[in-house]
Amino acid sequence: MHRLSRRSVSAILRTGGATTRTSAPPPLPVLHDSGEGSDSHHSEFARRLYSVLIPVKQNASDSAKHCNLRNSLLAFNRYESTAAATDSSYPPEEKFEYQAEVSRLMDLIVHSLYSNKEVFLRELISNASDALDKLRFLSVTEPALLKEAVDLDIRIQTDQDNGIITLTDTGIGMTREELVDCLGTIAQSGTAKFLKAVKESKESGADSNLIGQFGVGFYSAFLVSDKVVVSTKSPKSDKQYVWEGEANASSYTIREETDAEKLIPRGTRITLFLKRDDKGFAHPERVQNLVKNYSQFVSFPIYTWQEKGFTKEVEVDEDPAEGKKDEGNETKTEKKKKTKKVVEKYWEWELTNETQPIWLRNPKEVSTEEYNEFYKKTFNEYLDPLASSHFTTEGEVEFRSILFVPAMSPMGKEDIVNPKTKNIKLYVKRVFISDDFDGELFPRYLSFVKGVVDSNDLPLNVSREILQESRIVRIMRKRLVRKAFDMILGISLSENKDDYDKFWENFGKHLKLGCLEDHQNHKRIAPLLRFSSSQSEEELISLDEYIENMKPEQKDIYYIAADNVKSARNAPSLEKLLEKDFEVLFLIDPIDEVAIQNLKSYKEKNFVDISKEDLDLGDKDEEKEKEIKQEFGKTCDWIKKRLGDKVASVQISSRLSTSPCVLVSGKFGWSANMERLMKAQTMGDTSSLEFMRGRRVFEINPQHPIIKDLNDACSRSPDDPEAQRAIDLLYDTALISSGFTPENPADLGGKIYEMMGMALAGKWTAPEPTGQWATAPQPGVSGDQEAVEAEVVEPSEAGQK
């Protein structure tokens, strides 16, 4: 059978079809140029359409329904084919001009709205899911919309050789008017109006749902496509329409579909003709990975066209030489046919989004093993999380979330300075949006928390800048942070203390960083902090435990910062507090001192650094202090005069018991530990260093013997050089014992050597000879000369003697 030309069809219509029987039905259109009958071709088309619309996996209970569906498809196709055959010509295309410059429009989409090309598939699947949702919603009141018994699903097929991707959904579809409204909105509004609307929405503080307002989600297809064809059929219309547009064209067209092979019962089919550089997106495996990454949790099934294979055995022809050998063999045995295994390939639809979102389930129905399995699979972890939190937030903003606390810090705790950890996956209506955030959902110090967040209120914004300015995101951030703290607090209060020890070892510095960056959550961070102390050097304690151990007369929380526990324990400033049995926190981590200074207080107890001036231990005796100041006042002035600008003042100390002196920092200056850390900074500012360390106070212990001797020297011989050198050595020694760095280590070493020489002079020297061996020195002859003369005595004379 041959295909009829348009001229032949027109001639038949003009002559009234005299060569055909009037009672016969109109001839069916020929689908292929072959010798088969039209019915067989039509049945073949119906079978192919049926195989596309019906999922591969079926059960026996649905067989009757599928048979009825197939019959209805056959009847439907015959009707459409008859209509197509009777038309005298194809319907004319309607041309629509773009009001905006296409080059500017596409430049806006590529460079401003989307930062990653692969999101085009996410947007198209989201639009298809919306169409299916709308159909399901409308079918409740209008059951006739589901008259075509087609399953609600999304199917994606690729042609890798030609670079074509076809996405088909069985949703609500569009009429001609809806097609113009939905796909022509951004073209009709123009670029100027588009930018104006975005600007107005930002100024008003409203959330910009650009996809729903301008159809930008569909136009993301032009990120990878030169040409896009949309064929859609609404159950409210008897006709199917085709929209065609090109990336660099100044217009698009809409026409009626008349090709019987391209008719669909209901829904929308989008065909993308990819650009030459983007044809890699047409690979079936890549499409499948994109669906799993972005649209894995879409509520409708998504099928992708995948290549499969199975192994089977086939017979192999025998080698003639081997056949002759077998004939010469006398043993008569039955010959076994030789076979080999081959892989036979075929194509079929494969369900890609099998995993159901666990966060949509009731938390009471989800076991701990399911949470752990989801955590490991989603974040590629091999250890179970320390804790998890599954919650739903309702009210002003509604969203569902599951948060996890990892058991180990990745990459050796380097992520404390990198907030872009990809630990939070944001979904909008179960569609993956992004995991690349810069502190929008969690602050930097909580970047170790992992989880998923799914919001129905959040718009599908197409840029991270819009996401940063969204009011909904700011509200979500507060609630997520609050839930994260509740989860960490639960670990600290659990019976298994090893869990929190493990958490603190990995993420303790993150919480200390929170003391610097998040003043609003100080009350939540402080109970989670852990430190060593003078009464608990090995086991870390909390601030609550410290307050429980405080003495009744103790008013403040005392601490000292050092580079290690040993240095902190042997610090001179600690002596009087240990005598009074006051517990002192040891801040040995570089960030500890800054964190405590930012907290300032906890439960109405102020933090006090015992290495700074004006330390009040609550045991002042004014009369006794007055007597000591009268006795040692001149000595303090004498020592200050000798030290000059090295110290701000010399005072009587109330914190020493065994050491003669100590050097403390000013009340508002850097401590010795902070000064050491600031010196170690690569980009440290020496000018600020001089300013902050300028005030140092030299405190003396009036009960120490060295200070008493200096007091006597001050009253009897204040200008004695030995006394002056003693003051210098005392100051340099106090620098080291208090944690400061000496300004001139070589000079200090010389002073120590001199003092050692004085102390050790003659201590181990041999005693002088006595008796007959002792010779008195002659007058006018030194001992050295006498020794020289003894060395030159002749051996013969020495022997006679």
* Span 478-489, pLDDT tens digits: 999 999 999 999
Tell me the pairing of strands 302-315 and 154-159: parallel
Burial class (CB in 10 A: 0-12, 13-18, 19+), 52: middle
Quick check: 106 pLDDT over 80?
A: no
Quick check: 682 pLDDT over 60?
A: no
Quick check: 449 pLDDT over 90?
A: yes
Do 271 and 245 touch, CB atoms closer than 8 A? no
Q: Which of 88-102, 404-418, 637-651 reaches the highest mean pLDDT? A: 637-651
Percent of the chain with pLDDT over 70: 70
715 to each of 625, 636, 720, 721, how far by Cα in Å? Answer: 20, 12, 11, 14
Summarize the confidence of residues 506-533 as an average pLDDT: 93
Q: Which of 295-304, 323-332, 428-437, 615-624 reaches the highest mean pLDDT? A: 295-304
pLDDT band at 404 (very low <50, low <70, confident <90, very high): very high
Summarize the confidence of residues 282-310 as an average pLDDT: 89
Q: What is the pLDDT of residue 336?
A: 62
Task: Read off the pLDDT of residues 596-617 as tens digits, 9 standing for 90 and up.
Answer: 999 999 999 999 999 988 888 8
* Range of lowest pLDDT (6-20, 336-350, 473-487, 651-665): 6-20
Quick check: 87 pLDDT over 50?
A: no
Task: Read off the pLDDT of residues 536-583 as tens digits, 9 standing for 90 and up.
Answer: 888 999 999 999 999 888 889 999 999 899 989 989 999 889 988 999
Q: What is the pLDDT of residue 667?
A: 82
- Which among 714, 615, 707, 712 is positioned nearest to 661, based on CA atoms? 707
Summarize the confidence of residues 75-96 as an average pLDDT: 48
Q: What is the pLDDT of residue 543?
A: 94
Average pLDDT, the chain: 76
Residues with Cβ within 8 Å of 534's Cβ and at least 6 positions away in sequence, in order, are 569, 574, 577, 578, 583, 584, 586
Q: What is the pLDDT of residue 470?
A: 74
Return the higher-pLDDT residue of 597 and 322.
597
Percent of the chain with pLDDT over 90: 28
Residue with tokens 């200050």: 640
What is the rounded distance in angstroms from the CA atom of residue 110 to the CA atom of residue 716?
A: 89
Q: What is the pLDDT of residue 354?
A: 72
Q: What is the pLDDT of residue 323?
A: 56
What is the rounded distance in angstroms from the CA atom of residue 535 to the CA atom of residue 549?
A: 10
> Residue 698: how many CA atoms within 13 Å on its side-chain side?
27
* Residues facing 532 on adjacent strands: 586
Q: What is the pLDDT of residue 213?
A: 40
Quick check: 102 pLDDT over 90?
A: no
Residues with Cβ within 8 Å of 157's Cβ and at least 6 positions away in sequence, in order, are 165, 166, 168, 304, 305
Quick check: 335 pLDDT over 70?
A: no
Summarize the confidence of residues 273-281 as an average pLDDT: 91
Quick check: 78 pLDDT over 90?
A: no
Residues with Cβ within 8 Å of 473's Cβ and at least 6 positions away in sequence, in order, are 440, 441, 458, 467
Quick check: 190 pLDDT over 80?
A: no
Q: What is the pLDDT of residue 118?
A: 85
> Residue 165: how many CA atoms within 13 Å on its side-chain side?
27
Q: What is the pLDDT of residue 64?
A: 38
Tokens of 454: 């799914």
Q: What is the pLDDT of residue 793?
A: 46
pLDDT band at 503 (very low <50, low <70, confident <90, very high): very high
Number of H helices, E strands in the chain: 28, 23
561: left (phi over 0), alpha (psi -120 to 50) or beta: beta
Q: What is the pLDDT of residue 77?
A: 38
Return the higher-pLDDT residue of 795 and 244.
244
Summarize the confidence of residues 613-626 as an average pLDDT: 82
Q: What is the pLDDT of residue 588?
A: 92
Task: Read off the pLDDT of residues 118-146 as tens digits, 9 standing for 90 and up.
Answer: 888 988 998 888 888 888 888 888 888 88
Q: What is the pLDDT of residue 500?
A: 93
366 to each of 183, 325, 362, 385, 399, how far by Cα in Å? Answer: 42, 69, 7, 15, 18
pLDDT band at 395 (very low <50, low <70, confident <90, very high): confident
Task: Read off the pLDDT of residues 194-229 as tens digits, 9 standing for 90 and up.
Answer: 445 555 655 554 444 343 344 567 888 888 999 999
Q: What is the pLDDT of residue 782?
A: 46
Q: What is the pLDDT of residue 90?
A: 55
pLDDT band at 53 (very low <50, low <70, confident <90, very high): very low
Residues with Cβ within 8 Å of 4's Cβ and at least 6 positions away in sequence, in order, are 27, 30
* Range of lowest pLDDT (175-179, 217-221, 596-600, 693-697): 693-697
Do 304 and 350 touch, CB atoms closer than 8 A? yes
Mark 481-494 as b/e (b = at least 16 C-beta within 10 Å): bebbbebbeebeee
Q: What is the pLDDT of residue 618?
A: 74
Mark 255-287 as b/e (b = at least 16 C-beta within 10 Å): bebbebeebbbbbbbbbbbbbeebbebbebeeb
Q: Which of 272-276, 342-346, 764-768 reaches the highest mean pLDDT? A: 272-276
pLDDT band at 403 (very low <50, low <70, confident <90, very high): very high
Q: What is the pLDDT of residue 397?
A: 85
Residues with Cβ within 8 Å of 612's Cβ and at least 6 positions away in sequence, in order, are 664, 665, 666, 667, 669, 671
pLDDT band at 356 (very low <50, low <70, confident <90, very high): confident
What is the rounded distance in angstroms from the CA atom of residue 490 to the CA atom of residue 404?
A: 12
